[in-house]
Amino acid sequence: MAMYGYAGKKLLVDLNSKKTKIEEIPEAFCRKLLGGNGFSIKFLYDYAKPKIDPLSPDNVLVFAVGPFCGTLIPTSSKYIVQAKSPLTGFQGKAISSGYWSQAFRRAGYDALVIMGRAKKPIYLFIDDNVVEFRDATNLWGKDCWETENIIRETIGDDNVRVAAIGPAGENLVRYACITNDRNRQAGRTGMGAVMGSKQMKAIVVRGSKSIQVAKLDELLELCKELNEKAKDLIYFRDKGTTGIWTHQKGALGIRNYQYNTFEGPELKSGDIRKMDDSRPINRWVDDYEPAVEWLKKHYVHRTLACGICPIACDHVDYINDRPYENTVVGVEYETIYALGPMCGVTYYPGVAKAAELCDRFGLDTISTGVVVAWFMECFEKGIITLEDTEGLELTFGNHEALVEIIKKIAQRKGFGNLLAEGTKAASEKIGKGSEHFAMHSKGLEFPGYDVRGLKTMALAFAVSTRGACHVRSQVYYDEFSGVIDRFNVEKGRGEFVADKENLQTVYDSLMLCKFSRGIYIYSNMHIDKYKDIYTKWAHMYNLATGIPLTGEELRTAGERIYNLEKAYNVREGWTRKDDWLPPRVFKDPILWGPAKGSVVTEEELNFLLDDYYSSRGWTEDGMPAEKKLIELGLNDVAKEVGV
C-alpha cells in the first residue's frame, strides 16, 4: 500500500556477500517511532548484537531520514547516522544537513542498514532501485572533497549526492566524521570510523522518484506561513552561528576550561588578549557584534542554505592571510570554540585552516579541538615534553602547532596515534593527573559550554545517551535567558531536562533543524507550554503523512525513543557511574567573570541524577524500569534490559 510522506522502505546492505534487500516499513512502525532518530536507534538495537567491538564487522551502520524529507516543510533536509560508537562504547549518533537526504528519500527509502565488512575499499551507489558496489581502491587516501569530485566526474553527473569519509575514517580515528555536500558533516561520536572499518569510502545517491503528501493544498498553506515566519530569523542568516558567543555569560571554554571568559589578569597579559586586526576573535572581549561584523567584512565569502531551508546560516570563509592562503571553509560557533579559544588560538586564519583540514580529513572539529587542548595543557604542566611531541611546541595559542597536530591525528602518525583515541582513552594512558582536566562525558568531548556556571546543563551533559552534548536538551538556552536560575540546584530540574530531551528527540525523529526553533518554538518558552508545539507538529505530521497522531502521542513517541536509546546503552554495559563529569567541573572553581567561584559539586550532581531518574520512571540506579518500558510499548526491550 502506498504511503504518504514516508517511502515505507528500508534498504539492507550486506557488505560480506555484496547482497541487498528491500523490506517494507509498516505504518504502525512509523506511527510508533516517527522516523530519523526513532528508526535508526530501533534498527541499531535490532540488527547489532550486544557488546560487539564498534570497529568490528559486527557493528551496524544505520542512515535514516524523517517523514518530511523531500517535502516543502522548512529545514527538513537532514539525515541521521547511528552505530555503536568507537569513541564511547555506547550509542553513537550524528546528524547532518545538506542535500544528500533529499536524494536518498527520492531514491525511495527511509533508512539504510549496512552490515558486515567489504573485502576491499568500495563505495555504494544507490540509483533509485539499482544498488551497485563500486571499487574505491583509487579513492582510498583521498580527502572528503577530492572523493566527492572524483565520484561525480566518474559517474558523469554533478547532481549525485556523496556522503564520504576522509583519511581519518580510513585510519579509524575514533572521532572521524562523515562529510556530504562538501560543507556538511555528520560530526560526532565517530561514525566515520565505523564507515572506515567497513572499508566503505562513500555512499552515493541519485533519486528521481516523486514524494506524495496526504493533504497537499493544506500543507502548502502551512509551509507558506512557516516561511513567512522564517523571514524574521535574520540573525543566523546575517551572522551565521558565530554570533552565538558564551564569553559574556562566563561560559566559554578557554584553554581547556582553565578559563571561561577573556577577562582576568592572566589573559590580559597573554596573547589571547591582543587586539590587532589579525586577531578578530579577541574583539569579543568587549562586544561580540563588532567581531562578527569584522569577520563578515574580511572573510565571509558567501552564505549557503541547506535544502528547503529559508534560514541560510552557513557562512563560508575565504582566507588569504599568510601562511594560510586560499583556505576555504564553512565555520560555526562550535568549530571556532574548539579550534580557537579552547586551544588558546586567537589568530582567525589559523582557526579557519584547522577547520578546513578537519573537513578535508573527515574529523569532528569539537573532539579534535578538545583533545588537542587537553594535550596542550599536559605540555603546559610538564606532563609531556618536547621529546614526546617530537619537538613541537604545544603551547596554547600556537596555531602552527594546531595545524600540524591535526595532520598527525588524521594519519595516526607519532603522538597523533594517541590523540586519535580520544580524550578519555588518551588521558587514561598518559595518567599523571591528566584525567583531572580531560573534558568529556562517556568519552565524548565537551562542546562549548562551561557547565560549572550552567548547572542544569551539567545534568544534561552527564545523562545524555551519546555523551556530552548540547543539542540533546538545549537547556542552556533556558539558563541563559533566565527561564531557570543557572546557578541553582533544586527538585524539578530532572523533569525539566527529561522533558526537553523528549522534545529534542521528536525534533531529531521528524528530522527538523534545531535552528528552526524560531519558526516552531522559542527558547524562552517554559516547558509547560511545549504541548502547544507538539500539537502544531502533530497537525503538520497529519498533513504530510495522513497518519492521525495527537500532540500527546507525539510527545509519548519522543519519550519512547529516548527510553530505547537508554535501553541500548544499558545493554552495552552502562551503569550510573557513566553519567558523570570530569573532576575539573567539581574541583576547579571558575576564576572570574559572571560565574566567578562556581562549581558543580558531586553532591549537587548526585541530587540532580536522583531527581532525573525519578522523573523518568527509572530505578535509583538509572536503569529503565520494566513497567515504564512496557507502558511505552517497548515490551521486547523490557524483557531484555528492564528491571
pLDDT digit string, tens, across residues 582-625: 999 999 999 888 899 999 999 999 999 999 999 999 999 999 99
Numbered ranges of CATH 1.10.599.10 in the chain:
451-581+601-641
Res 312: pLDDT:
72
Confidence band, pLDDT 50/70/90 cuts, at residue 279? very low
d(CA 101, CA 80): 9
Residue 122 has pLDDT above 90, yes or no: yes
SS3 per residue for 108-145 = CCCEEEEECCCCCCEEEEEECCEEEEEECHHHCCCCHH
d(CA 242, CA 440): 23
The answer to whether 621 and 638 are in contact (CB under 8 A) is no
Q: Which of 555, 441, 577, 450 is nearest to 501 (CA)?
A: 555
Residue 311 backbone dihedrals phi, psi, to 5 degrees: -90, -50
Q: In this structure, which topology does domain 234-439 adopt according to CATH? A: 1.10.569
Residue 642 has pLDDT above 80, yes or no: no
**Which residues in 113-128 are b (16+ Cβ under 10 Å) and which e?**
bbbbbbeebbbbbbbe
d(CA 190, CA 571): 20
Q: Give ∠ CA 420-92-367 in degrees, rounded to 5.
A: 35
The contacts of residue 628 (CB under 8 Å, 6+ apart) are: 563, 616, 617, 618, 642
d(CA 87, CA 444): 7
d(CA 98, CA 639): 39
Numbered ranges of CATH 3.60.9.10 in the chain:
9-206
d(CA 390, CA 211): 56
Helix or strand holding residue 423 (H, E)? helix 423-430
Q: Which of 411, 476, 466 is nearest to 441 (CA)?
A: 466
More confident residue, 138 or 297: 138
* Ordered DSSP codes for 341-402: GGGT---HHHHHHHHHHHHHHTB-HHHHHHHHHHHHHHHHTTSS-TTTTTT----TT-HHHH
The answer to whether 9 and 23 are in contact (CB under 8 A) is yes
d(CA 134, CA 276): 51
Residue 264 has pLDDT above 60, yes or no: no
CATH 3.60.9.10 correct for 9-206: yes
Examine residue 323 and say whether the peptide bond preceding it is cis (omega within 30 degrees of 0).
Answer: yes
Residue 529 has pLDDT above 60, yes or no: no
Res 525: pLDDT:
44
What the block records as the C-alpha cell of 574 is 552502562
What the block records as the C-alpha cell of 339 is 579550534
Q: What is the mean pLDDT of the chain?
A: 90
Confidence band, pLDDT 50/70/90 cuts, at residue 576? very high
| Residue pLDDT, tens place only, 197-224 | 999 999 999 999 999 999 999 999 999 9
| Residue pLDDT, tens place only, 426-478 | 999 999 999 999 999 999 999 999 999 999 999 999 999 999 998 999 898 88
Beta strands in 426-506, from DSSP E residues, in sequence order? 440-441, 444-445
Q: In this structure, which topology does domain 451-581+601-641 adopt according to CATH? A: 1.10.599
Q: What is the mean pLDDT of residues 478-498?
A: 94
More confident residue, 36 or 345: 36
The answer to whether 250 and 258 are in contact (CB under 8 A) is no
- 475 three-state secondary structure: helix
